[in-house]
Amino acid sequence: MTHWYAIYVNVKHEKKVVNKLLEKGIIAYAPVTRKLRQWSDRKKWVEFPMLSGYVFVNIEEIDKGTILNCPGVFSFIKFNGVEAKIKDAEIAILKSIEESGYDVTQELGELKLLDEVEITQGQLKGLKGMVVLIQNTNYVQIQLTSLKQNIKVKLPIHILKTVSLQ
Question: pLDDT tens, 90-148?
Answer: 888 788 778 876 543 334 456 667 777 777 766 667 777 777 666 544 555 655 445 56
| Mean pLDDT comparison of 42-46, 71-75, 78-82, 156-160, highest-scoring range | 71-75
Instruction: Give the number of other CB atoms < 10 A from CB of residue 109.
Output: 10
| Mean local confidence (pLDDT), 39-60 | 88
Q: What percent of the chain has pLDDT over 70?
A: 70
Residue type, 97: I
State how beta strands 54-59 and 27-29 pair.
Answer: antiparallel
Residue 106 confidence (pLDDT): 34
Whole-model pTM: value is: 0.65
Residue 19 has pLDDT above 50, yes or no: yes
- Of the CA atoms within 13 Å of residue 76, those in its CB half-sphere come to 22
Confidence bin at 81 (pLDDT 50/70/90): confident
Question: 80 — alpha (psi -120 to 50), left (phi > 0) or beta?
Answer: left
